[in-house]
Chain A
Amino acid sequence: MIANAKIRHGVLLALLAWVWLTPGTSSRVLTAIAPLPAVQASAPQSPVGLPLKPDSVRFAIIGDSGSGDSFQYDVAQQMVKARATFPFDFVVMLGDNINHGHSAKDFSRMFEQPYQVLLAAGVKFYAALGNHDDPIECLYKPFNMGGQRYYAHGKGNVRFIVLDSNYMDPPQLDWLEKQLGEATSTWKIVYFHHPLYSDGRFHVPDTDLRARLEPQFEKYGVNVVLSGHEHVYERIVPQHGIYYFILGNAGELRFHNLKASSSMAAGFDEDRCFMLVEVAGDEFYFQTISRTGKIVDSGVLQRQQKPAQVSAQFKGRITSSASAFQSTNLH
C-alpha cells in the first residue's frame, strides 16, 4: 500500500515536473488564467506585402540585438535573406547593441561578425543607446551617432530622432523640442531604448519618461515611436494618435513574457525577430519576421493627418504570429 502510494506520488511529481519544465508550457499554464487581449485575430490573414514603391524609404529595425549567440546570427542571416528581395538602405538599432561587456572582442562578436554581410554591402546602422551600452559607444563610427548620445538623421520624407532614454536630462529635452519644432519632413519617427507603453512582464512602462516625452510627441505630431528593452515584440494600440512598437528580441528573448492586455495590438514572444519598414507617401508598411523567417506581424499604417489626431484609418493586420501569441493564451 505504502509502496503503491509512493509510486503514485512519484508519477504525479514526475508529470508535474515534465509539464513545468517543457519549454513554454509553464507560461501557457499561467497565461491561460489571464484574460485574452482585446484585439482578436479571427483567423490568420495573409501578410501585408511591402510594395517597393519608387522613392520609398526602406529600413530594418533591430533591438536588444547584442547577445552574441547563435540566435542573433540567425536573425542577421534572415536580414540578409530579406534584403535580397527588399533592398533596405539602413538599420535602426534600439539599444543594448553590445549587451555583455565592452571589449573589442565583444564589439566583434555582437556587431561586426553577425552583420558583416550587411556592413560590407554598405548598409548603415543608426544606434540608440540602451542601459547595457556604455555611452562612449557613440564614438564607435559604425553606429553613426556622430559622437553624440542623442542625434537626428533623415532619409527622404522621414526624420528620425534618436534619444538616450537612459538619461533624459533638461538639455536633451530642450534639444528634442527644438528638433521636433524644426522638422519639416512628412514623417517623424522617434526611437530610443525604454518603452513608454509595454505589456512585458519583466519591466513596467516608464511612466516618468512618458510624462516628459508624450506631450512633446503630441504637440509636434510624432507619427511612430520605436523602443526595445523588453525582450519581446509588441505593437501597441495607437496611444494619443501615435503608433508605438517594441522590438527587443533581435538577439535576446524572454520567452512567453507578454501578458494579455487591451493595449496590445499584436505580440510575439516565442522567438527572436526583426522588422522591415517601407515608408511610401502617407503609408508606413511593416513586416515583423522571426528568426526562422516567418512573418509574425504585418500591416500598413496611415500617416496621422495632424498632431494628436487618433488615426481612424488604422489598417494594421494581425497575422500568423499574433495568433500564435493568442494561442499561447488559449492553451
Chain B
Amino acid sequence: MTCRVNKPRAWMYFALAAGIVIARAWGGRAAAQNAVNPDAALTQDFEKRVADYVKLHKSAEATPAPLKKPTTSPEKIRHHQHELRVTIVSLRSHAVQGNIFTPQIAAEFRRLIGIAYQADARHIRASFQEGEPGTRIVRVRVNNEYPDDMPLQTMPSSLLLNLPALPPELEYRVVGRTLVLRDIGANLIVDIIRGAIPN
C-alpha cells in the first residue's frame, strides 16, 4: 500500500499569495482609516477654537440683551456693539495672538492662502486693489476694536473659498498683509496672522 501524499498544486500557491495581498491591503486600509489627515486635524482644531469663541460670544451677548431685531436708533446699535465688545474683552482679557491661530494653524492658513494665490493671484490682487487702494495701514492687535474709521477691505471671493468656513458671528478681514479674525457684532479683533497675505 502506498501512501499518496498530494503535492501542493500551482493554484494553491496562487490562492495563498492572493490571500496575503488582500489581507495586507485590508489591513492597510484600516490603518489609513485610523490615521488622521494632518491638514484635517488642524482644520478641526481651528473649528473647535472658533466654536469655543462663539460660545463665549453668545454668553457675552446675553448680558447686554441681544440685539436681534432692527431698530430705528443707530445709537442703540452702537451702544450694543460697544457693550458686547467690553464684555467679551473682559471675559478673555488674557487673550493673545495665537490663541485661535496657533502657529500650526497659522502655517496651514498660509498654505491655503498660497494655494489660492497659485491658482489666481492676478484676480485676488485686483480684488484687493479694487477694494480700497491707498488706505492707511494700521497695526492691529488682538482684543482691540477694529479701527472705526478704516474701511473694511473687500475679501476676494477666491480667497474665502479656500479658507475654513466661519459661523455668522465671525469673518475674515485683511489689513495690509495681516489676516484678521473679526467679531462682527462686537467689532473686535479676535486673532490675527501677520504676513499671511503674500506681497
Contact = CB atoms under 8 A, between A and B. Distances in A.
Nearest to A108: B74
A132 B151 contact: yes
A203 B134 CA distance: 10
A141 B70 contact: yes
Interface string B36-65: 000000000000000000000000000000
A143 B151 CA distance: 19
Given A131-B132, A208-B124, A101 B149 contact: yes
Interface string B122-156: 11101101111100000000000000110111111
B31 to A, nearest CB: 33
Interface in A209-240: 209, 211-212, 229
Interface residues of B, number: 41
B69 A147 contact: yes
A108 B78 CA distance: 14
Most chain B beta-carbon contacts within 10 A, residue among A106, A142, A202, A208? A208
A331 B73 CA distance: 49
B116 to A, nearest CB: 10
Contacts of A203: 129-130, 133
Given A131-B151, A131-B152, A205-B130, A145 B70 contact: yes
B71 interface: yes
Contacts of B69: 139, 147
A83 to B, nearest CB: 22
Interface in A163-215: 165-171, 173, 194, 202-209, 211-212
B71 A171 contact: no
Contacts of A132: 151-152
Interface of B: 67-75, 77-78, 81, 120, 122-124, 126-127, 129-133, 148-149, 151-158, 160-161, 165-166, 171, 184-185, 187
Interface of A: 100-104, 106-108, 131-132, 134-143, 145-147, 165-171, 173, 194, 202-209, 211-212, 229
23 contacts: A102-B148, A103-B78, A108-B74, A131-B151, A134-B152, A140-B71, A140-B74, A141-B70, A146-B70, A147-B68, A147-B70, A166-B155, A168-B157, A169-B166, A171-B165, A202-B133, A203-B133, A204-B129, A206-B131, A208-B126, A208-B127, A208-B156, A211-B123
